[in-house]
Amino acid sequence: MVKGFINTALESKMLSAEKFSDILQQKAEQTKIVSFINPFSYPLIAKSLNLIEEIDYWFVDGMALCHLSNLRRKNNLLRASFDLSSIARDCFDYASKKEVNVALVGASESEIKLACSNLKKLFPNLKIVYSHHGFIKNKFESVYEDIEESNANYLIVGMGTPMQEEFAIGCRKVCPSLSLILTCGGFLTQTAMKPDYYHPLIKKFGLRWLQRAYLHSYVRKRLIKDYPSFIIRYLFNR
């Protein structure tokens, strides 16, 4: 149900960060899909009832949306992003410990190779059984087949919203070996730049947005144009 700008169906499925460990440890009969939402992606996702319903778990990526959504809640949400300052580290630690086969799809051809190399430096026991760049708009089916042949258990996909969610939903239908699919936005591109992308002081003071804005022009555009508009519309429709 959409009430003004706010999608109540989406809001009801948004989880707090502490719930992620339960998802990692649960034994599900069907592949589960985890995705993340922020002020830029919220309007895109809110328009698609199919995406909201098909994604099993939504986490809030960024403090701005956490604060806004918490205005409407009794139990506050805590930020959960797929980066090494948040739940990505938990995911890779768990996968390494349990010897989970991991597939990675996203970024450019050169970036995905660097991302895999850098992840192996951070997590030497991580079993990356398949990787592919994310420029596959018309090649989803062939990549699905390769993922299934790799016997991957986890798939981490970063193509941007809503393509990464659409890819994840389609992959679940043809890759029964997968137990968990997670979207990751720009994580693979960031990891290609540096094994642990965020500077320690940036993480300590919660200024991840500032580092990303400094390094990426598209982030500056979102902060200047998209985020203020979202905040106003969200508050107006509260």
Q: Which two tokens stand for residue 232?
A: 């106003």
E strands of the chain, at which residues?
A: 2-3, 6-7, 14-15, 32-37, 57-60, 101-106, 127-132, 154-158, 180-183
The residues, ordered by sequence, that sit 6+ positions from 159 with a Cβ below 8 Å of its Cβ are: 105, 106, 134, 167
How far, in Å, CA of 155 to CA of 75, rounded?
A: 30
| CB contact at 8 A, 198 and 205 | no
Q: Active-site residue among 111, 141, 148, 165? A: 111
Instruction: Report the half-sphere exposure of 95 (CA within 13 A, side-chain side).
Output: 29
Q: Please report, for residues 35, 61, 132, 139, 157, the alpha-carbon distance to residue 163 in angstroms, rounded to integers and kept in the order given.
A: 12, 17, 15, 12, 10
If 0-12 CB within 10 Å is exposed, 13-18 middle and 19+ buried, where does residue 42 land? buried
Six-digit token string for 42: 């919220």
DSSP state of 47: T
The answer to whether 165 is a known catalytic residue is no
Active site members: 111
